Chain A
């Protein structure tokens, strides 16, 4: 290592590393907030098995908030920093490039860490409302009951079993609050596969977005009274998702898509006006259901404009 490179490292990289560590507290970007050691619960439902797995990374989280202006400004800050402290005379092009890249990546890592750190801190309240035990008992039982009492799984297994085989339906719930904590989004990843061979017959995600809370309601809105609103939202989500699953496999006039072409839907709810592109499946009583561009089924609160 040349003397020039050592000087450059001390000039660029070490200060950046130190400042990055100090400012971020050496934060590691983590997505799995809860303990992950258990077997998925499995219930027999006639010819089909229902398997509910709450053992996933990001089971509970708060969405991150990107600030494009801050990111663009970071590039300018880096340029200014490099210009104000040019590489020492005699430094090789490779050395300059290495120092340049390392410093840039450190700045980026610091910005990512800050962004995810804020979201992680916000998720703390939700994590206390959804402990690992509650995921096992309360949420999984609620989900199983809603899917089975609405006969969604029977419906699904009947539709697929006729064509294929005895199936296992694996559902994986995930919960995410919007960054302003006003909307709770419940996602259900559904995989139906042959019990014998494991061949996947169907895979999709169902997403339910709650009615928005009042502005500034904060985490207390979801966690008050033993998280009554939060679990109420989960219950409403699971009921809606059972209906969405039925719709996915039913050949019924009532569930024929309202429009067959993808379009940009404009809708309004208490949180504002939003746009979503997809195929409108139904809308009634302040709820809109569409198939988005990923093919996922989404249910959200609002009135079409």
Chain B
């Protein structure tokens, strides 16, 4: 009985603790960042295992099962989608950075990014932010000074519910976190939460291949990629704005 109470207490603390997590504020990349010569950057674009289904709103355990069953045909189709447009992101970033004179190394899945230890922020009150994992050991292992990390957060289909009553049509979502970490001290040089969503134009419930939702998914994916590029290319855009004057 004591164990049961203990487990319930632990679970409730975890849930409450999750609610207390402060989201990382955005960190803007310095406009002249890529102008510094001799930079060595490792790029890691974390893979997407499979697009998922996200229920928003007040959904309980039984509702979860009902809603998941209703959306199973959609997610069955989404699990078969070609995600090569996403996996090319690391190559696209590499090409851009090499064009800027940066020495680039694309890191593979076995680089140990996911296994890195937690890194507590030494001072949570200031505006100097750090990566939540300790990546500093990658500096000597791969001979790089910075790590450019793209992490998928919510990729797939989202739908708001109250219990098992859907409050709206499903929409395609593609959310990423992008960060550039200084491997000397694990400091964040850039952080952005990229959140792209697309509603279906017309009817969404078109089994078996759900063309409207599928189109929305790829549109959200491309929009997210484009936003990553816009963040990293900021210097170029700012220069272009200055040139006409």
* Residues on A facing B (Cβ under 8 Å): 63, 66, 68, 71-72, 74-76, 78-79, 100-101, 104-105, 107-108, 111, 264, 266, 273-278, 292-294
Contact = CB atoms under 8 A, between A and B. Distances in A.
Nearest to A80: B58
Contacts of B215: 276-278, 292-293
A111 to B, nearest CB: 7
20 contacts: A66-B169, A66-B199, A74-B57, A74-B167, A75-B57, A75-B162, A75-B167, A76-B57, A78-B162, A100-B163, A101-B163, A107-B162, A108-B165, A264-B218, A264-B222, A274-B219, A276-B215, A278-B215, A293-B209, A294-B212
A47 B78 CA distance: 45
B219 A71 contact: no
Contacts of B57: 72, 74-76, 79
Given A79-B162, A108-B165, A293-B211, A72 B56 contact: yes
A83 B158 CA distance: 25
A264 B81 CA distance: 13
Nearest to A178: B201
A264 B167 contact: no
The 10 closest A-B pairs by CB, nearest first: A75-B57, A293-B211, A275-B219, A71-B168, A71-B160, A75-B162, A79-B58, A277-B218, A294-B211, A72-B160
Number of contact residues on B: which range applies?
20 to 34
Contact of A75 (B58, B171, B221): B58
A74 B222 contact: no
Contacts of A276: 215, 219
Nearest to B209: A293
B225 to A, nearest CB: 9
Nearest to A74: B167
A274 B219 CA distance: 8
B193 to A, nearest CB: 16
A167 to B, nearest CB: 27
Contacts of B118: none
B85 to A, nearest CB: 6
B214 interface: yes
Interface string B194-232: 000101010000100101101100110111001000000
A102 to B, nearest CB: 10
Contacts of B222: 264, 266, 275
A100 B165 CA distance: 10
B58 A71 contact: no
A68 B197 contact: yes
Contact of A68 (B165, B171, B212): B171
Interface string B35-67: 000000000000000000000111000000000
Contact of A266 (B56, B212, B226): B226
B160 A68 contact: yes
B162 A264 contact: no
Given A277-B218, A293-B209, A294-B211, A104 B163 contact: yes
Most A CB within 10 A of own CB, among B168, B214, B222: B168
Contacts of A101: 163, 165
B34 interface: no
Nearest to B169: A66
A111 B167 contact: yes
A297 to B, nearest CB: 14
Given A66-B199, A75-B56, A266-B226, A294 B206 contact: yes
